[in-house]
Amino acid sequence: MEMGYEKKDFGENFVWGTSTSAYQIEGAHNIDGRGPSVWDHFSHQKGKIKNNENGDKACDFYHRYESDISLMASLNVDAFRFSLSWSRIFPEGIGKPNQKGIDFYHQVIDTCLASGIQPWITLYHWDLPLALEERGGWINRDIIYWFSEYVNFCTKTYGDKVKHWMVLNEPLAFTGMGYLRGLHAPGKKGIRQGLSTIHHAVLCQAEGGRIVRRNVPDAQIGTTFSCSYVEPYTRYPRDEQAAQKLDALYNRLFLEPALGQGYPLEDLSFLQKIENYFHPEDEKNMVFDFDFIGLQNYTREIASHSWLAPPLWAKAVPAEKRKVPITTMKWEVYPPGIYHLLKKFSAYDKVKKIYITENGASFEDKVEGEEVLDERRVKFLQSYIGQVLRAKKEGVKVEGYFAWSLLDNFEWENGYRPRFGLIHVDFTTQKRIIKNSGLWYQNFLGQSV
């Protein structure tokens, strides 16, 4: 093949899949007993989302899951990573479960299995039930109890059919963007509440793993991190130090506590006060022996020292200013970054194996009749997957790749303009068209091993 590798180069046990999340695709926000989530509330506030869009309907996956899973099966994937909507299962967050919500995920799981696709479940992908946010959400230490009850129920309900579980999706995103910077739901700002949410997420990350292990003894258990390869803007010591700080924030903050190394306090001085939120046994309870780590990568960051960016005194230099190839999200296209991150994460003794649980790009697609031209995405996938193979050949225990995303979907504060899907969605008619990138993935995965 023109990119210099074939599917067989990855080995017959390498897992190929696609990823989605509940709020981004399901729609059906207020039917069949589903309760509101923080994202329902946040997206309905004027000015929070571009064009004042929301996920009320999204891709209408709730009603179209059978045909969407059939389309996905045509791509020749092995696995489908999707999340459960907490408020679809527990409308009030805790208490009485919603049978129609429970049944929906049974149907999704059964349809996947009947199509020869393994379901990989993410337990939490940012859509906290609004009823729990009204009681403090991730700021309230009771979240550990609430989350434990939810995980216990889900794993007992679906654990006989689902053997791959991820506890949290990108905890830095929902704590940092939701409670520190206020750009995501629930839209709160402040260091104090940000620190408490970080600590509570770390504790839930580990406790969730323990509950899955207890309820599904033969499960493969992971959690996922959004990671960016960080390099200094110059070789001056201040920029080198800035890069070290951003690396600690982006790549180490939630991983190292799970590995038993604690928080990276030496590089993130603003974290010192996180110990105010420690209870006895927390240091031990932050640790869990995950079977795998989900690595999610989209871009590279270049760090420089900044007097104007306390408390880190570091900032990322925008890709636009650096005159490098970018996506419509203004993220740099830098395929070697995923290789460097795989090498970095695999250097931790306690990281047993890694899956790329998200990787993809938003570009402007060109729809011509029944064809969607997206050659930049084709090249993106080819080059990034090639870098995954490079790491694998060098001994990194990377055992799978999930493209983000199966469908164009609701991209959080950016609404529907960014399109990451392998399948194009017309959000007016809900018509689907497999893009050229999806056809490339289909052909690549259709090769015999």
At residue 394, the pLDDT reads 98
Per-residue model confidence as pLDDT tens digits over 168-206 = 999 999 999 999 999 999 999 998 889 999 999 999 999
Query: Is there a catalytic annotation at residue 358?
Result: yes
Q: How far apart are CA 53 and CA 46, in angstroms?
A: 9
Q: At what angle do helices 336-346 and 375-393 cross, to 10 degrees?
A: 30
Instruction: Report whether 47 contacts 41 (CB < 8 A).
Output: no
The SS3 of residue 185 is coil
At residue 388, the pLDDT reads 98
Q: How far apart are CA 127 and CA 39, in angstroms?
A: 6
Q: What is the mean pLDDT of residues 48-64?
A: 98
Percent of the chain with pLDDT over 90: 97
Q: How far apart are CA 72 and CA 434, in angstroms?
A: 9
At residue 177, the pLDDT reads 97
Q: Which domain holds residue 356?
A: 7-445
The SS3 of residue 32 is coil
Give Cα 22 distance to the centre of its chain.
11
Instruction: Report CA Rg, the chain.
Output: 21
Residue 324, domain member (yes or no): yes
Per-residue model confidence as pLDDT tens digits over 428-444 = 999 999 999 999 999 99
Q: What is the mean pLDDT of residues 402-410?
A: 98
Q: How far apart are CA 275 and CA 321, in angstroms?
A: 38
The model carries a pTM of: 0.98
Domain count, the chain: 1
pLDDT band at 3 (very low <50, low <70, confident <90, very high): confident
DSSP alpha helix (H) spans, 51-124: 61-74, 86-89, 99-114
Residue 357, domain member (yes or no): yes
In this structure, the dihedral spanned by the alpha carbons of residues 67, 68, 73 and 75, taken in order and rounded to 10 degrees, is: 130
144 membership: H or E segment, kind and range: helix 143-158
Per-residue model confidence as pLDDT tens digits over 319-344 = 999 999 999 999 999 999 999 999 99
pLDDT band at 1 (very low <50, low <70, confident <90, very high): very low
Whole-number average pLDDT of the chain = 97
Tokens of 79: 């696995």
At residue 2, the pLDDT reads 60
**Residue in 170, 256, 301, 411 annotated catalytic:** 170
Q: How far apart are CA 439 and CA 449, in angstroms?
A: 19
> CA triplet 177, 411, 28: central angle to 5 degrees?
110
The SS3 of residue 336 is helix
**Residue in 332, 358, 399, 411 annotated catalytic:** 358
Q: How far apart are CA 341 and CA 332, in angstroms?
A: 15
Residue 225, domain member (yes or no): yes
Residue 369, domain member (yes or no): yes
> What residues form DSSP beta bridges with 165?
121, 221
Residue that is written with structure tokens 């004027």 in the block: 46
Residue 1, domain member (yes or no): no
Residue 405, domain member (yes or no): yes
Residue 63, domain member (yes or no): yes
Residue 2, domain member (yes or no): no
Tokens of 16: 């190929």
Q: Residue 149 burial (CB < 10 Å; 0-12/13-18/19+)?
A: middle
Instruction: Report whether 77 contacts 117 (CB < 8 A).
Output: yes
Tokens of 384: 């990034």
Q: How far apart are CA 287 and CA 306, in angstroms?
A: 34
At residue 354, the pLDDT reads 99
Instruction: Report whether 161 contacts 119 (CB < 8 A).
Output: yes
CATH of the domain at 117: 3.20.20.80
b/e 308-338 (16+ beta carbons within 10 angstroms → b): eeeebebbbbebeeeeeebbbbebbbbbebb
- How would DSSP label each residue in 347-407? TSTT---EEEEE-------EEETTEEE-HHHHHHHHHHHHHHHHHHHTT--EEEEEEE-SB
Q: How far apart are CA 382 and CA 351, in angstroms?
A: 26
Q: How far apart are CA 379 and CA 211, in angstroms?
A: 41
Query: Is there a catalytic annotation at residue 170?
Result: yes
The SS3 of residue 204 is helix
Per-residue model confidence as pLDDT tens digits over 237-287 = 999 999 999 999 999 999 999 999 999 999 999 999 999 999 999 999 999
Q: What is the mean pLDDT of residues 214-237?
A: 98
Per-residue model confidence as pLDDT tens digits over 343-370 = 999 999 999 999 999 999 999 999 999 9
Q: What is the mean pLDDT of residues 54-64?
A: 98
